[in-house]
Structure 1
Amino acid sequence: MVPRTRPTRSALVAGVVALVALVAVTAAGCGDTGGLRGAGSTPTAISPAKLWPDLRPASSPAWPYDEANTETVKGITVRGDDIHEADPVAVVRAEIAAHPDDYGGKGAYHATVARMGDCGAGGAGGGARCPLLKAYYRDLTGDGRDDMTLGFRLYPTNQTAVRVYTVEHHKLVQVLADNDAITGVELAGRAVIVRSPAGITGYEYRTTWAWDPQQRAMVFSRDEFLRTGRRTGRHKHATRTPAPTLSPSASLR
Structure 2
Amino acid sequence: MRPPTARLAAALALGAFALLAGCGGQGGLKSDGPAETAVGPVRLWPELPPASDPPADYGETDTERVPGITVRGADVRTVDPVAVVRAEVAADAGGDGMDERTARAVLACDTAPARCPVLSPYYRDLTGNGRDELIVGIRLPEQQVAVRVYLAERGGLTRVMSTVDQVISVELAGRDLIVRAASAGIPGYEYRTAWSWDRLQHSMLPARDEIVPVRPPSDAPRTAPPPTGGPATESPRAPSPRAEPAP
1:83 counterpart residue number: 76
Match of 2:100 among 93, 96, 110: 110
Q: In the TM superposition, what whole-angstrom CA distance separates every residue of 1:6-57 from its partner, at most 9, and x where no partner exists?
A: xxxxxxxxxxx95972672xx5xxxxxx887765665554333321121112
Distance in 2 between the 1:192 and 1:114 partners? 28
Aligned amino acid, residue 173 of structure 1: T
Aligned amino acid, residue 131 of structure 2: R
2:155 counterpart residue number: 170
1:221 counterpart residue number: 207
Distance in 1 between the 2:101 and 2:59 partners? 32
Alignment check: 8 A CA contact 1:159 1:180 kept: yes
Distance in 2 between the 1:230 and 1:182 partners? 18
Closer, same or farther: CA 187–20 of 1 in aligned 2, 3 Å: farther
How many positions carry a matched residue from both structures?
A: 201
Deviates more, 1:212-221 or 1:57-66: 57-66
- Give the % identical residues: 47
Residue segments in structure 1 that go unaligned for 5+ positions in a row? 1-16, 28-33, 233-253
Q: In the TM superposition, what whole-angstrom CA distance separates every residue of 1:128-180 from its partner, at most 9, and x where no partner exists?
A: 3221111001111111111100001113x431010000111101111111111
Q: 1:67: how far off? A: 6.0
1:74 aligned to 2:67? yes
1:119 counterpart residue number: 109
Distance in 2 between the 1:111 and 1:20 partners? 83
TM-score (norm 1): 0.67
SS in 1 for 2:82: helix
Q: 1:223: how far off? A: 1.0
Alpha-carbon RMSD? 3.3
SS in 1 for 2:66: strand
Distance in 2 between the 1:114 and 1:19 partners? 82
Where relative contact order (Cα < 8 A, 6+ residues apart) is larger, the structure is 1
1:1-253 → structure 2 map (5 Å cutoff): 18=19, 21=22, 24=25, 27=26, 39=32, 43-62=36-55, 68-99=61-92, 109-116=99-106, 119-120=109-110, 127-155=113-141, 157-198=142-183, 199-230=185-216
Question: Which structure: larger Rg?
Answer: 2
